[in-house]
C-alpha cells in the first residue's frame, strides 16, 4: 500500500523515541493498581447498594407502612408519604455507581448492557432483601448506637416521618371517648383521632389497649379518620427498642 | 529464534522482558494495516502520520497492560480506534475515503439486488457511508474493509458480539436504502 508518508521514517521516529528513553514502558504494577482500584470500587459500591436496599426493606419492616396499602387510594397516599425516599435516592446512586465502574472497567463488554443491568439490579434486590431478613441491618444499626449521631442518622433515613406521618397513623389505643380515641404512636407521641360518624367508626370499649392502623386527614392536633383496622398485634415492631425515636426519645414507650 | 516465526503475542512477551528493539517488528507488522484503517477517518496525510505515531507510542507505553492470552491485533486496533475517534470528534468533515479495491469489495459483498450504476455507486457510496452514525460506520469499516471477524470487532469496539452482527445487518439496510434512493434519483 502506498502512503503519503515514508513508512521507514515513521518506524525510525517511534523507535528513536523508545531507544532514547523518552518513551518508556509503564510498569505493570501501575496497571495492577488500576485494576485493583477499579475492582475495589465495583465491590464497594455493590456492597453499599446491597446495604442500602436492605435498609429499604428494613424500613418497610420497621415502620409497618405496608399496612396502609390495604386502604385503597388513601392508603397508597399514606404509604407514599411514609416512603424512605432518602434511602431510595442513595440506593439508586449506588446502583448507578456500580454500573459506571463496570462500564469503565470494560470487563463485561461481551455481555449486553441491558442484561447486565437487569442481572445486577436483580442480584442487588435479592441480596438486599435477604440481608434485611436475616437482620444484619438491625445489628449494624444497633452497633451504631455506640456513636453519638448514629441513631438519629439511621432514623432519619429508615424511619421517615415515623410519627405524625400525614394521612397514615399507627399506634395503641389508650383512651376511647364519644367522639375521640387517643392513640399512642410507637415513638411515644399521643394523637387524638376525631370520629365524625361514631356509629360507623367508634370502636367498642374492649378495643382499649389494642392496636390501630388508620388512614384519614391530618389536621392540627387531631386526626380525622376515614378507614381503620384494629389488631391485637402491633402493626410495626417496637422501633424504640432498637433505634430510639428521633422525635421523642425521652418518652419511650414499650407497647408489649 | 527468528522474529518472523513469533506470533504477535510472543513478540510482545519478548519486548516486555527487555527486548525493546524488537518493537520495530510490531511496527512493521501493523503500520500498513493501521494506516489503511485510520485513512478511513483521517484524510490529511500529515495528521494521519502523527496519529499513527501516537498509536505506536501509546501501544508501547501500555504494553504491560496487554494480556498475552488475548489477541494483540484487537488490542492495537482498539488503540487506533480510540485515536481515530478522538480526532474525528474535533472535526466537522466526517466523510470516508474509499479506495478502488474497496468499491469492488463493497459491490461484491453488499449484494444489492438492483444493479447500481458503478459510476453512481462510486459517487454516492462515500457520501452514504458518511451519513451513517459513527457506531455503524466503524463496524462496517472493520468488517468489510479491514476484514476483522465479529469477535475481533467485539474486542476492538468493546461491544457484545451479537451487537456487531445487529449493527452490520442494520447498517447494510440503511446503506442499501440510501444508495437505491440516490440511484433512482440519478436516473
Of B28, B46, B62, the CB nearest to A11: B28
Q: Which helix (H) or strand (E) holds A215?
A: strand A211-218
Only one residue has cell 453519638, namely: A148
**CA of A119 vs chain B CAs: smallest distance (Å):** 16
Does residue A256 surpass a pLDDT of 80?
no
Q: Does the beta-carbon distance from B64 to A31 stay under 8 Å?
A: yes
Instruction: Please name the residue of chain B whose CA is at the shortest distance from the CA of residue A33.
Output: B65
Split at pLDDT 50, 70, 90, the class of A254 is very low
Q: What is the mean pLDDT of residues A141-169?
A: 58
| A36 touching B (Cβ < 8 Å) | no
Chain B residues closer than 8 Å to A23 by CB: 57, 60-61
Q: What integer best gives the mean pLDDT of chain A?
A: 77
Only one residue has cell 410495626, namely: A236
pLDDT tens digit sequence for A88-121: 899 999 999 999 999 888 888 888 888 888 998 9
Only one residue has cell 480526532, namely: B87
CATH 2.40.50.140 in chain A, residue ranges: 168-251
Only one residue has cell 389508650, namely: A174
Q: Does the beta-carbon distance from B61 to A25 stay under 8 Å?
A: yes
Q: Does the beta-carbon distance from A13 to B53 stay under 8 Å?
A: yes
Q: Does the beta-carbon distance from B27 to A15 stay under 8 Å?
A: yes
Look up the CATH architecture of domain B3-89. Answer: Orthogonal Bundle (1.10)
Chain A residues closer than 8 Å to B65 by CB: 26, 28, 31
Q: Which of A31-35, A37-41, B48-52, B114-118 has the lowest mean pLDDT?
A: B114-118
Q: Which fold has domain B100-186?
A: Arc Repressor Mutant, subunit A (1.10.10)
Q: Is-contact A194 A224, C-beta < 8 A?
A: yes
* Residue that wins the pLDDT comparison between A24 and A156: A24
Does the domain at A168-251 match CATH 2.40.50.140? Answer given as yes
Does residue A164 surpass a pLDDT of 80?
no
ipTM: 0.75
pLDDT tens digit sequence for A235-244: 665 444 433 3
Only one residue has cell 521514517, namely: A9
Instruction: Please name the residue of chain B whose CA is at the shortest distance from the CA of residue A25.
Output: B61
The full set of domain ranges for chain B reads 3-89, 100-186
pLDDT, averaged per 10 consecutive residues of chain B (187 residues), comes to 81 90 92 89 86 94 90 93 84 60 61 55 71 84 87 91 92 82 59
Phi, psi of A190 (to 5 degrees): -110, 140
Amino acid at each position: 500500500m502506498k502512503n503519503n508518508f515514508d513508512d521507514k521514517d515513521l518506524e525510525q521516529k517511534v523507535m528513536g523515541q523508545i531507544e532514547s528513553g523518552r518513551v518508556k514502558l509503564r510498569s505493570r504494577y501501575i496497571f495492577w493498581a488500576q485494576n485493583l482500584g477499579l475492582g475495589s470500587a465495583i465491590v464497594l459500591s455493590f456492597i453499599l447498594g446491597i446495604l442500602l436496599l436492605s435498609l429499604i426493606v428494613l424500613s418497610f419492616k420497621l415502620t409497618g407502612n405496608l399496612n396502609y396499602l390495604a386502604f385503597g387510594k388513601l392508603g397508597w397516599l399514606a404509604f407514599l408519604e411514609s416512603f424512605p425516599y432518602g434511602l431510595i435516592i442513595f440506593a439508586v446512586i449506588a446502583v448507578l455507581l456500580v454500573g459506571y465502574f463496570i462500564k469503565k472497567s470494560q470487563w463485561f463488554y461481551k455481555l449486553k448492557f441491558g442484561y447486565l443491568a437487569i442481572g445486577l439490579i436483580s442480584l442487588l434486590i435479592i441480596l438486599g432483601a435477604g440481608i434485611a431478613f436475616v437482620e444484619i441491618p438491625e445489628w449494624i444499626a444497633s452497633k451504631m448506637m455506640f456513636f453519638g449521631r448514629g441513631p438519629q442518622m439511621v432514623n432519619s433515613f429508615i424511619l421517615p416521618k415515623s410519627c405524625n406521618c400525614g394521612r397514615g397513623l399507627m399506634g395503641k389505643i389508650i383512651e376511647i371517648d364519644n367522639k375521640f380515641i387517643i392513640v399512642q404512636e410507637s415513638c411515644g407521641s399521643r394523637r387524638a383521632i376525631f370520629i365524625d360518624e361514631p356509629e360507623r367508626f367508634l370502636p367498642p370499649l374492649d378495643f382499649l389497649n389494642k392496636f390501630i392502623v388508620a388512614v384519614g386527614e391530618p389536621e392540627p392536633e387531631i386526626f380525622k379518620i376515614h378507614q381503620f383496622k384494629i389488631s391485637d398485634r402491633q402493626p410495626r415492631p417496637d422501633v424504640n427498642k432498637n433505634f430510639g425515636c428521633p422525635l421523642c426519645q425521652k418518652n419511650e414507650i414499650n407497647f408489649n | 529464534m527468528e522474529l518472523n516465526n513469533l506470533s504477535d503475542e510472543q513478540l510482545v512477551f519478548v519486548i516486555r522482558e527487555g527486548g525493546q528493539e524488537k518493537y520495530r517488528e510490531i511496527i512493521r507488522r501493523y503500520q500498513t494495516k493501521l494506516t489503511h484503517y485510520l485513512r478511513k477517518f483521517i484524510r490529511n496525510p500529515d495528521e494521519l502520520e502523527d496519529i499513527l505515531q501516537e498509536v505506536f507510542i501509546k501501544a508501547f507505553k501500555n504494553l504491560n497492560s496487554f494480556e498475552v492470552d488475548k489477541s494483540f491485533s484487537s488490542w492495537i486496533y482498539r488503540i487506533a480506534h480510540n485515536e481515530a475517534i478522538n480526532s474525528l470528534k474535533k472535526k466537522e468533515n466526517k466523510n470516508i475515503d474509499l479506495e478502488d479495491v474497496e468499491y469492488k469489495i463493497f459491490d461484491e459483498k453488499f449484494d444489492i439486488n438492483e444493479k447500481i450504476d458503478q459510476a453512481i455507486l462510486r459517487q454516492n457510496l462515500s457520501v452514504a457511508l458518511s451519513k451513517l452514525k459513527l457506531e455503524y460506520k466503524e463496524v462496517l469499516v472493520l468488517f468489510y474493509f479491514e476484514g476483522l471477524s465479529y469477535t475481533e470487532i467485539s474486542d476492538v469496539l468493546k461491544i457484545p458480539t451479537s451487537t456487531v452482527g445487529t449493527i452490520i445487518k442494520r447498517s447494510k439496510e440503511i446503506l442499501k436504502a440510501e444508495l437505491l434512493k440516490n440511484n433512482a434519483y440519478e436516473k
